[in-house]
Amino acid sequence: MKLRLWPQSLVARTTATLLAVLALVQIAGFTITALDRIRLQRFEQGRHLALRVMELYITVAKTPAEQRAELLRILKMPAGFSAQLSDKPPASLLISPLEEQRVIRLNMALVPMPHELRPSEVSLLGSLQEGRMMIGLRLPQGQWLDITATIPSPRPWYAPGFLIAFVVMTVIAGGVIFWTVRRLIAPVATLAEAASHLGRDLHAPPLPENGPTELARAAAAFNQMAERLRRFVQDRTFLLAAIGHDLRTPITRLRLRAEFIADDELRTKILADLDELETMVQATMAFGRTAASREPLAPIDLAELVRTVLDEVGDSKPELAENLRYEGPSHFTVHARSVALKRAVANLVTNAAAYGGGARVVLHPPSGENPQVRLEIDDDGPGLPPGDIESLFEPFRRGEDSRNRETGGVGLGLTIARDVVREHGGEIILSNRPEGGTRATILLPV
């Protein structure tokens, strides 16, 4: 199973990783501090215990032996302490850890008292960690004073403001991490945005080449790539226009020479071929002009554009006017180059009218899972010629019915349409409808 919690965006991932590291560091710091505090508190407890025990011992030792039992009965003990007189030292299985013994004995020795009063023997049992200690001190007269003390467990977190400081520190560090990551990663989104923009508009303004070195280099490389692409497209377009232009002269010459052909039939055929050649050259040059034109992207009403195209096609073919229909919203705005896009739609509608006897254009606005506008141009004709549908997009590719018709086209209609739509960042798909006829689909980003 894929980890669902793992976020998708780079900002979220980097932030999550850094926050996890921050949490680990904080926990480690917290633990180190707590262990240190526990050690300090144990030390303090040992000292406190030693002082209280010695106070008690001195009071008892200074009292005559026969009054000691009575004294212990009425004496107010420190919290958690109890004491009794006995003939033997206290008994327990647990001898106190050496480190604790050292601390307690040292602190006992530091309490000032006359030499003859000092306990001749001290036995330490239990441990601070266990929470209970038994201390036996030998009184000058040979009796033992057995003291039992309950020791509270250490409270490493108990310090005013400690937890608040910790939370504030974590929140501030988290905020700084989030802010920095967002700032550092923002240019990646800009780069992606620029790349998708370039797909639609080859003449989009270049990216600013500033900021951190790596990003500036990426921006510069991107700008260079865009420049090369522009030059490549420009060269191709110029070449096309130049060939088209230069072919016109020899064609005119050929036409003049053909007039001298004596054979009537041959002359007519050659002139017809030359006509066709000339149409192709003109179409090629027109194609070059569209590609070279730098019409700006602007908001246009796609529904209105489709209706205009249908009207114009209807005007040129009045007998088909009834079969040209539009379905969809009465207005829908897209960002596009209006002349070029109109040409693309017109080419598809003309094809539907020419080969399918009519066109039904349906506009589907973007829906939830599909963020693009879909324009479907359907006809009820014979459908696309069998074979490679993709090849119909190639320049000068025509089907048999186009060739056979007297007013057959050149074979550039689909090429131009696809060029235009792709320049808008969209796509054209041709297919045969299951119920018969052709469907041309234009997908356009809004």
Ligand X SMILES: Nc1ncnc2c1ncn2[C@@H]1O[C@H](COP(=O)(O)OP(=O)(O)OP(=O)(O)O)[C@@H](O)[C@H]1O
Overall size of the chain counted in residues: 446
Residue 119 · residue 185 · CB < 8 Å: no
Of residues 97 through 126, those in contact with ligand X by CB under 6 A are: none
- Binding status of residue 244 toward ligand X by CB under 6 A: no
One symbol per residue from 339 to 368: x for binding Mg ion (CB under 5 A), - otherwise; what is it? ------------x-----------------
Shortest distance, CB of residue 391 to ligand X, whole angstroms?
9
Q: Which residues contact 387 (CB under 8 A, 6 or more apart)?
A: none
Shortest distance, CB of residue 432 to ligand X, whole angstroms?
9
- Binding status of residue 96 toward ligand X by CB under 6 A: no
- Binding status of residue 385 toward ligand X by CB under 6 A: yes
Q: Which is nearer to ligand X, 139 or 392 (CB)?
A: 392
Tokens of 243: 């060939």
Q: Give the integer Cα–Cα distance in Å for 211 and 158.
A: 47
- Binding status of residue 399 toward ligand X by CB under 6 A: yes
Work out whether the CA dihedral 157, 160, 162, 163 comes out positive or negative: positive
- Binding status of residue 156 toward ligand X by CB under 6 A: no
Q: Which is nearer to ligand X, 169 or 243 (CB)?
A: 243
- Binding status of residue 358 toward ligand X by CB under 6 A: no
Of residues 412 through 441, those in contact with Mg ion by CB under 5 A are: 413
Among 409, 425, 426, 437, binds Mg ion (CB under 5 A): 409
Q: Give the integer Cα–Cα distance in Å for 33 and 40.
A: 11
Shortest distance, CB of residue 417 to ligand X, whole angstroms?
7
Across the chain, how many H-helices and E-strands are there?
Answer: 10, 11
Size of the site for ligand X (CB under 6 A): 23
Q: For ligand X, which stretch binds (CB under 6 A), given 31-39, 102-110, 128-136, 409-417?
A: 409-417
Q: Which of 306, 310, 247 is nearest to 279 (CA)?
A: 247
15: left (phi over 0), alpha (psi -120 to 50) or beta: alpha
Q: Give the integer Cα–Cα distance in Å for 430 and 417.
A: 12
Q: Which long-range contacts (CB under 8 A, 24 or more apart) does 16-22 make?
A: 18/177, 18/181, 19/174, 19/177, 22/170, 22/173, 22/174, 22/177
- Binding status of residue 401 toward ligand X by CB under 6 A: yes
Among 100, 146, 376, 379, binds ligand X (CB under 6 A): 379
Please give the residue ranges that form the binding site for Mg ion (CB under 5 A).
351, 409, 413
Footprint of ligand X (CB under 6 A): 347, 351-352, 355-356, 379, 381, 384-385, 392, 397-399, 401-402, 409-415, 438
